């Protein structure tokens, strides 16, 4: 990954060097480097002929598919900027996201384009660019058609490393879009850091099993193409299809979100003993210590957990060893990364005390798009304010405590949801749980707890309350208990605590 070259330059060079090497697989489609690069170059030229220019913003509402991967490379060749969103977003939310990011072209599923025209007609008529479907639809050009069309397969070469490349929406930002700006050089640097950290090479077959409109799957798709490896992209996640993909394609490396690994551990982790996996990394949300121990014992490969944010990329890494006393941590800062723990006024707290995690990293995002004040507020000098609570020990290990906004303040005392969840998650009938706050006139907030029973298990609320009374302080005790069929999660598997009260209200679930 030589400096001075764009994302597309590097991938096209790899195709010239190893044209017949497997490059990409998704949903039954397998492409070697020559075919993949040729389609991406033709798509780039076809988009240019349709009026897409360097710096133009392209809204993307696609599932995980070949078209999305080709568009990642074509946009880098054009120097265009992609604005990916979930194709499942309501049309009005999609419009807000695209309007906030100055989108002039849209590439989406045909059904999404129809919904946008029906519900957001004024916005669609005001667009100055083209609208394209994944597959052609009623006269709307299709990405697949353009990639296979008559255009030359010689790259344009318009994109530069310093170009803005992808605007990624932060989780839950659809009501007030907060797009994160990534330049091509940032994506290249993050890929290089991952390659260096985990010793990846051109022989690796790397699996992406999260939505491609999030930065993790984008990295797992681009990274193998940048090092001459093979990208395996799953259309959607389930435990069975994940295990099948690992076995069928000889996957050697993946970064999985913790909720996926929790499902794998519960269902069929032993099947991984026969796989080619050399390394698995858990990301997105903290693995609880008992689950780390179980996975470390079941997996027959290197097993890591990392911590970071979309704005900072990976900041720490922990090579998980069941016998290691640091197992409850998320590891130490990566080379070039500096961590501090600060109080509400931005002052460093003593070692071992809790506060906000702030991070200085060479992999930092380029700011929030057209939100300079928000970008300024997110920084403490050259450190990014993560909004996460944690502490550092004397050896430099970071202990993540949760989102600051999710801390429950009851009667003026801070209560961490993680402490409550750890007290009850080992109950045999509890599949998962989440502590959250409910408003209270006297205390400001009270602690509530939602639990999801395991399949065919009955909720034993008496045992649950006794466990809490036995292991928690008085101020930590939940005042309300709820039994749910599932916890609300975002596309990356993170529990969305602020939606729990709405979920409970919508379900009509009573409390105990």
Q: pLDDT per residue over 191-233, tens digit each?
A: 999 999 999 999 999 999 999 999 999 999 999 999 999 999 9
Residue 388 in any domain: the answer is yes
The pLDDT score that the predictor gives to residue 69 is: 97
Give the confidence band of 511 by pLDDT, cuts at 50, 70, 90: low
**Residues 395 and 418 grouped into a single domain:** no
The pLDDT score that the predictor gives to residue 173 is: 41
The pLDDT score that the predictor gives to residue 265 is: 83
Predicted model pTM: 0.87
Positions of E strands within 393-484: 398-403, 408-410, 413-415, 430-440, 444-453, 480-483
Q: How far is CA 477 from CA 467, 484, 497, in A?
A: 10, 19, 18
**Residues 27 and 91 grouped into a single domain:** yes
The pLDDT score that the predictor gives to residue 252 is: 97
Which residues span the domain enclosing 125? 7-236
The pLDDT score that the predictor gives to residue 489 is: 85
Residue 116 in any domain: the answer is yes
**Phi–psi pair at 481, nearest 5 degrees:** -120, 135
The pLDDT score that the predictor gives to residue 2 is: 52
**Residues 423 and 365 grouped into a single domain:** no
> Which position has the higher pLDDT, 135 or 90?
90
* pLDDT above 60 (res 148): yes
Give the confidence band of 166 by pLDDT, cuts at 50, 70, 90: very high
CB neighbours of residue 97 within 10 Å: 25
The pLDDT score that the predictor gives to residue 254 is: 97
DSSP 153: S
Give the confidence band of 331 by pLDDT, cuts at 50, 70, 90: very high
Which pLDDT tens digit goes with each residue over 355-398? 999 999 999 999 999 999 999 999 999 999 999 999 999 999 99
Which pLDDT tens digit goes with each residue over 445-479? 899 999 999 887 889 999 999 999 999 988 899 99
Q: Which of 236, 262, 278 is the last residue in one of the domains?
A: 236
| Tokens of residue 75, six digits | 């946009």
The pLDDT score that the predictor gives to residue 502 is: 81
In the chain, the percentage of residues whose pLDDT exceeds 70 is 94
Residue with tokens 């050089």: 185
Mean pLDDT of 129-141: 81
**Residues 331 and 426 grouped into a single domain:** no
Return d(Cα 423, Cα 419) in angstroms, integer: 6
The pLDDT score that the predictor gives to residue 269 is: 54
**Residues 396 and 452 grouped into a single domain:** no
Residue 347 in any domain: the answer is yes
**Residues 52 and 188 grouped into a single domain:** yes
Give the confidence band of 494 by pLDDT, cuts at 50, 70, 90: confident
Residue 501 in any domain: the answer is yes
Positions of E strands within 110-233: 131-133, 164-169, 179-183, 205-208, 230-233
* pLDDT above 90 (res 259): no
The pLDDT score that the predictor gives to residue 321 is: 79
Return d(Cα 471, Cα 227) in angstroms, integer: 49
* pLDDT above 70 (res 509): no
Give the confidence band of 290 by pLDDT, cuts at 50, 70, 90: confident
**Residues 337 and 482 grouped into a single domain:** no
Residue 398 in any domain: the answer is yes
* pLDDT above 80 (res 268): no
**Phi–psi pair at 298, nearest 5 degrees:** -85, -40
Residue 2 in any domain: the answer is no
**Residues 92 and 165 grouped into a single domain:** yes
Q: Which residues pair with 164 in a beta bridge?
A: 183
Least confident of 155-159, 439-443, 458-462: 439-443
**Residues 201 and 126 grouped into a single domain:** yes
Q: Which of 341, 369, 404 is the last residue in one of the domains?
A: 404
**Residues 213 and 316 grouped into a single domain:** no
Alpha helices in 159-238 (DSSP H): 184-198, 215-227
Which pLDDT tens digit goes with each residue over 411-439? 878 888 988 998 998 899 999 899 999 98
Total number of domains constituting the chain: 3
Q: Which of 379, 404, 429 is the last residue in one of the domains?
A: 404
The pLDDT score that the predictor gives to residue 273 is: 67
**Residues 209 and 348 grouped into a single domain:** no
CATH code: domain of residue 31 = 3.40.50.12780
- Are 127 and 105 in contact, with CB atoms under 8 Å apart? yes
Residue 271 in any domain: the answer is no
The pLDDT score that the predictor gives to residue 112 is: 94
| Tokens of residue 424, six digits | 């009850």
Which pLDDT tens digit goes with each residue over 40-99? 999 999 999 999 999 999 999 999 999 999 999 999 999 999 999 999 889 998 999 999
């Amino acid at each position: 990954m030589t400096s001075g070259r764009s994302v597309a330059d590097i991938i096209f060079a790899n195709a010239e060097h190893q044209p017949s090497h497997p490059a990409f697989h998704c949903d039954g489609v397998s492409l070697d480097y020559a075919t993949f690069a040729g389609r991406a170059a033709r798509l780039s030229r076809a988009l240019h002929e349709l009026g897409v220019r360097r710096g133009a913003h392209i809204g993307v509402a696609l599932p995980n598919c070949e078209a999305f991967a080709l568009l990642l490379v074509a946009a880098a060749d054009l120097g265009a900027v992609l604005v990916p969103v979930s194709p499942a977003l309501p049309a009005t939310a999609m419009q807000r996201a695209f309007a906030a990011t100055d989108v002039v072209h849209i590439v989406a599923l045909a059904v999404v384009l129809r919904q946008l025209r029906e519900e957001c007609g004024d916005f669609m008529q005001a667009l100055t660019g083209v609208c394209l479907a994944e597959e052609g639809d009623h006269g709307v050009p299709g990405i697949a058609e353009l990639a296979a069309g008559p255009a030359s397969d010689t790259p344009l070469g318009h994109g530069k490393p310093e170009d803005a490349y992808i605007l990624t929406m932060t989780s839950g930002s659809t009501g007030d879009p907060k797009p994160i700006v990534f330049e091509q050089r940032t994506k290249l640097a993050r890929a290089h850091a991952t390659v260096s950290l985990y010793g990846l090479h051109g022989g690796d077959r790397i699996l992406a099993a999260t939505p491609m409109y999030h930065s993790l799957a984008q990295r797992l798709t681009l990274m193998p193409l940048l090092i001459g490896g093979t990208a395996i992209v799953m259309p959607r996640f389930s435990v069975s299809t994940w295990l099948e993909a690992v076995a069928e394609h000889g996957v050697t490396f993946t970064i999985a979100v913790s909720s996926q690994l929790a499902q794998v551990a519960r269902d069929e982790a032993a099947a991984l003993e026969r796989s080619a996996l050399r390394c698995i990394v858990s990301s997105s949300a903290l693995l609880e210590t008992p689950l780390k121990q179980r996975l470390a014992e079941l997996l027959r490969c290197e097993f890591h957990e990392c911590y970071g944010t979309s704005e900072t990329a990976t900041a720490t890494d922990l090579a998980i060893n069941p016998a290691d006393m640091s197992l409850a941590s998320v590891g130490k800062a990566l080379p070039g990364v500096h961590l501090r723990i600060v109080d509400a006024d931005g002052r460093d707290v003593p070692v071992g005390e809790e506060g906000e995690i702030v991070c200085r990293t060479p992999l930092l995002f380029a700011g929030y798009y057209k939100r300079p004040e928000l970008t300024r507020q997110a920084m403490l000098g050259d450190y990014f304010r993560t909004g996460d609570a944690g502490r550092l020990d004397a050896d430099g290990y970071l202990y993540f405590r949760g989102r600051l906004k999710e801390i429950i303040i009851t009667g003026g005392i801070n209560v961490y949801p993680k402490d409550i969840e750890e007290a009850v998650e080992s109950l045999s009938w509890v599949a998962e749980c989440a502590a959250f706050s409910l408003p209270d006139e006297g205390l400001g907030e009270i602690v509530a707890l939602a639990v999801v029973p395991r399949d065919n298990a009955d909720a034993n609320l008496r045992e649950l309350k006794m466990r809490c009374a036995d292991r928690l302080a008085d101020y930590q005790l939940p005042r309300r208990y709820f039994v749910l069929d599932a916890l609300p999660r975002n596309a990356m598997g993170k529990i969305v605590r602020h939606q729990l009260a709405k979920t409970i209200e919508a379900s009509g679930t009573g409390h105990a």
